[in-house]
Chain A
Amino acid sequence: MLKHTISELKEALICLEAGQVTLPYPFAPHPPDENFRGKPVLNTRKCMSCGACGNACPSRLITISDKDGIRTLHFELTRCTYCGNCRDACPQEAIELTSQFELSTAVPADLAINAEFKLVTCRECGAVIGTERQVDLVREKLGASQLELPDTSYLDLCIACKRKAFIHSHALMLEVTP
């Protein structure tokens, strides 16, 4: 009996010492740790819609579809596990995992990201080459490189037409002649 009373007193003491431990959240904000990974956001100015994020995503929630001259990058965040693989895979560093964690919603569409990019088509055959951003990036990189190419007109050709144009180019003719 005495043992029991002592243990009850010990329990009471533990509670008294702890005092109030409940945080005032949600009435006061409770910022998570700086390492916390919350809702991903996409910086559409940096994104070139290459799809590396979709490849890296274990939940397969990032999809890319081309329709009517527009490429749509779709994030279905209802399935997101906040692993951060998409951010690690992105070559443009366009994805950031924010510290947002209050994501409850009655509307599933609130947890979706849709980014649309204009597509560029081949000037010869009309096949899709890539998005405007991708072609611009290639042009930018070529401009910055030391190659000094005289002719960049092939940039708006698709891969098949590029091959055709290359075969008929004068540079190649010279080498083939015996």
Chain B
Amino acid sequence: MERIHSHLLWIGLACHFIGFDTLFMQAWRIREPVMWLTEYLTGNRKTYGMNKIGGVARDLPADAMERILPVIDKIEAEAVRVVDAILEDSSLRARLEGVGILSTEDARAYCVIGPTARGSSLDIDARRDHPFAAYDELDFEVCVEKGCDIWARTLVRIRELLESIKMTRQALKQMPDGPVMADFGEIKPYQIGVSSVEAPRGEVHHYAVTGPGNRPFRWRVRAPSYNNLQSIPAMLRGAVIADAPISVGSLDPCFSCTERMSVIDVDSGEVKVYKREELLARKKL
């Protein structure tokens, strides 16, 4: 679900960056029913509050099947039509082909992940390489393109979008009955856990240290935008300025995922946001 709406969002945004607002509007029109669906399934459009330690917070509603299937059928039909129209669009193709080139060697050297890596013919996907959740029980194709340019990244996302719709159908069909939460008692404090899952933009890594009283002691997330943004210099070298927005945009960067630092004093409840200079000054200490 997340991937479907995220890729539709990206297609819309990328088209907006290059001034193709027609597709921006249409992609977001197709996306909106997904948002309504997540609101119905989880209770919110974006902050689902669904994943918990040991399972998920709530089971699917009883009529989930009847509500999800027609929506994804409709999205698929509409997405296929839009994709069919834009694949033959020579102006869009001329704008994206050969722009923002990230060679396979560079992609590997900069450790890019997700659709950015798969657009540069790196065949990596955490869903297949390190199966988590139920991905090992689903039959899916990892979409890899050899173009190394923004057009290739677009194709990867378009194919993944359709693949995700198929996977949602499979998952719904194979959904087992049973409890949604595992029963676990006290977790030993100061144990380290690391996990990696494939988010729409690439692998997300979570690092957690358990603390006393079944509470986390430290938790750190490495979002995929952090890896992917490192490849910007390679992508922009020798390019014209007009290509910069779509090159950066082709990574679907989430700056808020990548850059954040706020310190909360637990005793006084005071929140302090560190600025760049302050952080650098602290590093020197």
Contact = CB atoms under 8 A, between A and B. Distances in A.
A, B in one complex: yes
Interface of A: 3-4, 6-8, 10-11, 14-15, 18, 21, 32-33, 35-37, 81-85, 88, 97
A97 B49 CA distance: 13
Interface of B: 22-23, 25-26, 29, 32, 36, 39-44, 47, 49, 57, 61, 81-82, 84-91
B82 A14 contact: yes
A32 B41 CA distance: 12
Contact of B49 (A32, A33, A84): A84
B91 A37 contact: no
Contacts of A84: 43, 49, 57
Nearest to B43: A37
B212 to A, nearest CB: 14
B89 A4 contact: yes
B88 A4 contact: yes
A25 B44 CA distance: 18
Contacts of A85: 49, 57
9 contacts: A3-B88, A3-B90, A11-B22, A11-B86, A15-B25, A21-B29, A32-B39, A35-B41, A82-B47
A35 B90 contact: no
B41 A7 contact: no
A33 B37 CA distance: 9
A7 to B, nearest CB: 4
Contacts of A8: 89
Nearest to B39: A33
Given A10-B88, A37-B49, 10 more contacts: A4-B89, A10-B85, A14-B81, A15-B26, A35-B39, A35-B40, A81-B49, A82-B44, A83-B49, A83-B57
A75 to B, nearest CB: 13
B158 to A, nearest CB: 14
A36 B44 contact: yes
A97 B29 CA distance: 29
Contact of B90 (A4, A36, A37): A4
Contacts of A6: 88
B58 to A, nearest CB: 8
A97 B244 CA distance: 44
Nearest to B32: A21
B57 A33 contact: no
A14 B89 CA distance: 14
B22 A35 contact: no
Nearest to A34: B40
